[in-house]
Amino acid sequence: MVLTPYREDVVGTILLTVATLVAFAANSILCRMALRAEAIDPVSFTALRLVSGAVALSPFLRHGERHWSLRSAAALFAYAFGFSLAYVWLDAGTGALLLFGAVQVTMIGVALRRGERPSVLRVIGIAAAVAGVVVLVLPGVTAPEPGGALLMIAAGIAWAVYSLLGHGASASPTVTSACNFAMAAPASLVVLAFCASAASVTPMGALLAVVSGAVTSGLGYVLWYSALRGHSATSAAVVQLAVPVIAAAGGVALLGEEPTSRLVASGALTLGGVAVAVLAGGSLSAARSGGEGGK
């Protein structure tokens, strides 16, 4: 079968999105392995993560027009530090609800302000996806520590801003991501210098941070900025709800965690809701028309 250019765009967006979500889930697992096991402190983890990402993407700075954005770099910096610091204080379920809740509210709120009007079917899909995430994480949810909750909400807002800025970027995703990491990395080293007395790094912790930065963050964020060109702001927000499900499945496969019927049910509800929300809005078709989702 020969694909038309439109179909090629849609298939490309789907493949990029799936690869991105897997990278995000892997990032969550790496962070959990490093910080929950106290193999590294959160400040050192974040600094190594951002520096490794900057080094891995540095060759792209020599290709194409550089796209320096202080707002994008600041959003990346705020997300990375907020997430790592909050993760130490919050359990995984509470953290996921706060993080993805902040991302959804921010991105969908901006989309509505920009004029996106979701159909009834899309709203049903979003509700189903959110319900699936709640079913997945609810047994592990506890009353959050206020400081950790504020940090995770701030991290979610920062990530939403980073995604929205990438959604509107016209420059190469690789060059844009390389510039963002190149600007955020030095700032992270300054923070690390101020917190050097509290640093605690094991070889395993450092390895996990480097892999997180160079592969699942550096490469993953390039894939995300590429995938964003085929999504509307709303669908870009909704597809991220699949990350906790993929991360939970990865925990079963890689960390020996116990598979449960709740994981299967929540996964089906979340992924089904995401599919309905994306397809109901015709989000991927914007790539053909050059509309908002195809920038």
d(CA 288, CA 171): 19
pLDDT one-digit tens code per residue, 139-188? 766 777 889 899 999 999 999 999 999 887 777 899 999 999 999 999 99
Question: For the chain, what percent of residues have pLDDT higher than 90?
Answer: 58
Residue 258 — pLDDT band, cuts 50, 70, 90? confident
- Which two three-digit tokens encode residue 208? 């996990």
The reported pLDDT for the residue numbered 243 is 93
Task: Tell me what the pLDDT averaged over the chain comes to.
Answer: 86
Identify the weakest region by mean pLDDT among 11-15, 80-84, 166-170: 166-170
Q: What is the mean pLDDT of residues 17-40?
A: 90
pLDDT score recorded for residue 1: 39
Q: Decide if 92 contacts 32 (C-beta within 8 A).
A: yes
CA pair distance 213, 56, nearest whole angstrom: 8
pLDDT for the residue numbered 8: 54
Q: Quote the CA–CA distance of 197 and 191 in Å, as a whole number.
A: 12
pTM reported for the whole predicted model: 0.88
Residue 283: band (very low, low, confident or very high) from pLDDT cuts 50, 70, 90: low
Q: Is the pLDDT of residue 230 over 80?
A: yes
Task: Look up residue 39 and give its two tokens.
Answer: 């193999």
pLDDT of residue 288: 36
* Closest listed residue to residue 273, CA positions, set 93, 112, 132: 132
Q: What is the DSSP string of the chain?
A: -PPPHHHHHHHHHHHHHHHHHHHHHHHHHHHHHHHHTTSB-HHHHHHHHHHHHHHHHGGGGGSS-----HHHHHHHHHHHHHHHHHHHHS-HHHHHHHHHHHHHHHHHHHHHHTT----HHHHHHHHHHHHHHHHHHGGG--PPPHHHHHHHHHHHHHHHHHHHHHHT--S-HHHHHHHHHHHHHHHHHHHHHHTGGG--B-HHHHHHHHHIIIIIIIIHHHHHHHHGGGS-HHHHHHHTTHHHHHHHHHHHHHS-PPP-HHHHHHHHHHHHHHHHHHHHTTGGGHHHHT-GGG-
Residues forming a β-bridge with 201: 40
Predicted confidence band at 284 (pLDDT cuts at 50, 70, 90)?
low
% residues pLDDT > 70 (the chain):
90
Tell me what pLDDT residue 285 has: 45
Q: Quick: pLDDT tens for 91-136.
A: 777 888 899 999 999 999 999 999 888 889 999 999 999 999 998 8
How far from the centroid of its chain's Cα atoms is residue 119's Cα?
A: 25
What pLDDT does 97 receive?
86
Mean pLDDT of 66-85: 93
pLDDT of 87:
83
Alpha-carbon span 26 to 33, nearest angstrom: 10
pLDDT at 68 over 70: yes
**Segment among 74-83, 98-107, 162-171, 276-285 with least mean pLDDT:** 276-285
CA atoms within 13 A on the CB side of 17: 24
Q: Are 149 and 93 in contact (CB under 8 A)?
A: no
Q: Where along the chain do its domains lie?
A: 5-294
